[in-house]
Structure formats: structure tokens, C-alpha cells
Amino acid sequence: MKNVLRLCAESEVTEGAPFSVEIEGIPPLAVYRIDDEIYVTNRTCTHGDADLTEGFQEGGEIECPFHGGSFSIKTGEPVNLPCSKPLTTYPVKVIDGIVYIEKPTRQG
């Protein structure tokens, strides 16, 4: 497949434990499970240099471990201050148990 990036096995991602993926050339990613769906966002909080995979997933939201701001995992929209800038999200494909995203054309 062209223009897609393989991230991880779907089975590696459990709800409540965001999975960290690093691929050269793009920002670090966080992979989440919500019910039976997989979602991918940038891993770094937009408020500071915090790793969101070390934060707290509560249903469809991820809370930053630094200052307690949070984002919607599905949309990337900030839902609690001090986060005010959206988090980049990526369309996900799961094929034969492997999680892929389209190769980002620009970094966010």
C-alpha cells in the first residue's frame, strides 16, 4: 500500500492505555482504543511538551499528565483548559489486525 504508515498491531492497544509510536520524519503518535475503534493523534500536548500516552484516558478523552488539560481523542478538540489548541488527529485503517494511518502531508 502506498502512502500509508504501519503503526502497530491492533492487539497492542488497550482501552485506557494509550500506545506510543515513533516513526522517523513525523511527530510522535498516540494510538488509543475506545470500545472497538482505534484512534490516532499526535502524542505531544499542544499546551506544552507533555507525552499524552503518560496521561489518563477517560472514555473518549485524554487528560494531559502535566497540567490536567484534556482533549477529545476522536476530534482532537480541547475540552479542558489550559489546552486551547486542537490536537492533530489522523484517519485510521485497521487491516488484518494491523493499524495504519495515511502518511501525513504536513506536520501538525
- Residues near ligand FES (CB under 6 A): 45, 47-48, 50, 64, 66-67, 69, 82-83
Quick one: CA dihedral 37, 41, 46, 50, positive or negative?
positive
Closest CB 69 distance from ligand FES, rounded Å: 3
Residue 16: left if φ>0, alpha if ψ -120 to 50, beta else—which one? left
Closest CB 13 distance from ligand FES, rounded Å: 22
Closest CB 81 distance from ligand FES, rounded Å: 8
Kindly tell me which of 26 and 66 has the beta carbon lying closer to ligand FES.
66
Kindly tell me which of 12 and 51 has the beta carbon lying closer to ligand FES.
51
CB 72 within 8 A of CB 83: no
Kindly tell me which of 10 and 66 has the beta carbon lying closer to ligand FES.
66
Which residues, in sequence order, are bridge partners of residue 41? 30, 89
Kindly tell me which of 13 and 50 has the beta carbon lying closer to ligand FES.
50
